[in-house]
């Protein structure tokens, strides 16, 4: 990305798309969606994301990335210990997917994938 003196910070959704592609590489071929949600942030949004998780956890074409987890035990209680151990769940202990320089980081996000490439990223 070329940047000049008046360059604005990259928008959150573009930055997230780059981060997902960088971290997941060829693994993207296995999924239709990547859902990222922080363990804390917008309370109503997190509750909605947790409901989405519970409803869709058995869909192996959706990869769930749980980031910025304040309590692993609390998360296991809310989402189910067996659910967070599934292959389509990644617990981001290093907060790689929690983009601290963006205010949108507190909202659950979904990336849409076609043929191993991200086509769109938006709030869940």
Lay out the sheet containing 33-38: strands in order across: 89-92, 62-67, 33-38, 109-114, 117-123
Look at phi and psi of residue 43 and say left if phi exceeds 0, alpha if psi is from -120 to 50, else beta: alpha
Residue 25 tokens read as: 């590489």
Residue 18 tokens read as: 């780059």
89-92 and 109-114 strand pairing: unpaired
CATH number for region 12-123? 3.40.30
Q: What is the pLDDT of residues 17-74, one digit of tens each?
A: 999 999 999 999 999 999 998 987 777 888 889 999 999 999 999 999 999 998 999 9
Question: What are the sequence ranges of the domains in the chain?
Answer: 12-123
């Amino acid at each position: 990305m070329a940047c000049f003196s008046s360059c604005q910070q990259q928008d959150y959704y573009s930055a997230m798309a780059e981060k997902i592609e960088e971290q997941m590489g060829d693994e993207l071929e296995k999924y239709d969606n990547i859902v990222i949600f922080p363990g804390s942030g917008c309370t109503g949004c997190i509750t909605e994301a947790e409901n989405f998780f519970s409803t869709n956890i058995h869909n192996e074409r959706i990869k769930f990335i749980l980031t910025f987890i304040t309590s692993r035990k609390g998360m296991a209680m809310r989402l189910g210990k067996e659910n967070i151990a599934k292959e389509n769940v990644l617990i981001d202990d290093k907060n790689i997917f929690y983009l601290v320089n963006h205010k949108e980081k507190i909202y659950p996000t979904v990336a849409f994938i076609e043929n191993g490439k991200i086509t769109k990223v938006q709030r869940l």
